[in-house]
Amino acid sequence: MKFIHLTDLHLTVPGALLWGLDPWAQLDACLADIARHHADAAFVAITGDLTERGEVSAYDALKKRLVDFPLETHLMLGNHDDRKKFRSVFGGDGMVQSAVTRGGNGFLFLDTLKGPPSSAGLYDEERRTWLKGELKKADGAPVYLFLHHPPFAIGHPLMDLIALEEPEAFATLLKGHDIRHMFFGHAHRTISGQWRGIPFSALPSLNHQLPLVPGAVDTVYSNEPPMYAVVLLEQDRTIVHSDAFLNRTPAQMPPDAERSDWY
Ligand SMILES: [Fe+2]
């Protein structure tokens, strides 16, 4: 099966730019590209920082954008979001956590928002109880986790100040379950690796990025290609492709060059 991961939309009040870019234009281009090339995906998971400042008008405009989007979407919160304002637009109450089962796999969408003034993540007792219940329900089936904050330091001096707190309690909860992969946001970078045996991947934001080496540019954030991930799941493998959809242009070559057999 196939699904899409994207993250860190940082949507503004419609019409307002963020760091010189229009996050709505970035999102529209992204959704159009997904609808055009990946309409067969089972769902799109968006791992938080839906908005830059959590305004009701931003959530409201996102909800309207998704009405016409043909794929099922699963929204999560990040440290830039406001749970109450999100709930006032999207409905429901409490933590923004959900679970779906597709093709015998469990997909768990977690809420790691701690809240201001902290930008770190939190997965407290209430949330852990929910996750414990969902992992029990999975009953040994493969599980894929989605969350905004990584529960470990990623080797970036700024990001490592605001990772998920209480990582040991989170790690303990996962032991003994078939956790196949963790998808997170927050980092505004492409990252892959493993944590305690669990493979993970993260993606750039749809708007601004965090330079790998602070000082590599004169500003805290940088302009680097936004990406979404196309994830292919098979029983024996997980493939995560990252597609820089805004930077995809034809190569400088005749259209009929290199068309012969490749074997
Ligand atoms: Fe972000």
Whole-number Å distance, alpha carbon 262 to ligand 1 midpoint, is: 41
CA of 15 to the centre of ligand 1 (A): 19
Confidence of residue 263 (pLDDT cuts 50, 70, 90): confident
Domain residue spans of the chain: 2-247
Of 223, 218, 224, nearest in space to 244 by CA: 224
Length of the chain: 263
The rounded Å distance from CA 149 to ligand 1 centre is: 10
| DSSP per-residue letters across 64-108 | HHHHT--S-EEE---TT--HHHHHHHH---SS--EEEEETTEEEE
- 150 C-alpha vs ligand 1 centroid, how far in Å? 12
- Average pLDDT over the chain reads 97
| Interval between CA 103 and ligand 1 midpoint (Å) | 31
Give residue 101 CA to ligand 1 midpoint distance, Å: 27
Mean pLDDT value of segment 189-206: 98
Mean pLDDT, to the nearest integer, of 96-101? Answer: 97
**CB burial class (10 A; 0-12, 13-18, 19+) of residue 143?**
buried
11-63 tens-digit pLDDT: 999 999 999 999 999 999 999 999 999 999 999 999 999 999 999 999 999 99
Calculate how far, in angstroms, residue 136's C-alpha sits from the geometric centre of ligand 1: 31
What mean pLDDT is predicted for residues 226-241? 97
- How many angstroms separate the alpha carbon of residue 83 from the centre of ligand 1? 15
Residue 74 dihedral angles phi and psi, to the nearest 5°: -125, 115
Report the separation in Å between the CA atom of 8 and the middle of ligand 1, taken as the mean of its atom positions.
5
Q: How far is the CA of 186 from the centre of ligand 1 (A)?
A: 5
Residues in CB range of 65: below 8 A, 6 or more apart: 27, 28, 31
122 by Cβ neighbours in 10 Å (0-12 / 13-18 / 19+) ranks as: middle
- How far, in Å, is the centroid of ligand 1 from the Cα of 205? 7
Q: Which CATH superfamily is domain 2-247 in?
A: Metallo-dependent phosphatases (3.60.21.10)
Sign for the CA dihedral angle at 248, 9, 108, 32 comes to negative
d(CA 27, CA 65): 9
Question: What would the two tokens of residue 101 be?
Answer: 């089962």
Amino acid letter for position 208? H
| pLDDT tens for each residue of 2-12 | 999 999 999 99
Question: Is pLDDT of 262 > 90?
Answer: no
Q: Is the pLDDT of residue 219 over 90?
A: yes
- Mean pLDDT along residues 207-214: 97
How high is the pLDDT of residue 229? 98
Q: What per-residue confidence (pLDDT) applies to 118? A: 96
Read off the pLDDT of each residue in 193-215 and give the average, rounded to a whole number: 97
Q: Is the peptide bond before 204 cis (omega within 30 degrees of 0)?
A: no
Task: Write out pLDDT tens, residues 159-193.
Answer: 999 999 999 999 999 999 999 999 999 999 999 99
pLDDT at res. 156: 95
Q: Which of 245, 159, 206, 228 is nearest to 50 (CA)?
A: 206
Cα of 141 from ligand 1 centre, angstroms: 31
For residue 260, the CA-to-ligand 1 centroid distance in Å is: 43
| β-bridge pairing 98-102 and 105-109 | antiparallel
* Ligand 1: centre distance to CA 187 (Å): 7
- Tell me the CA–centroid distance for residue 179 and ligand 1, in Å: 25
- What is the 257 CA–ligand 1 centroid distance (Å)? 41
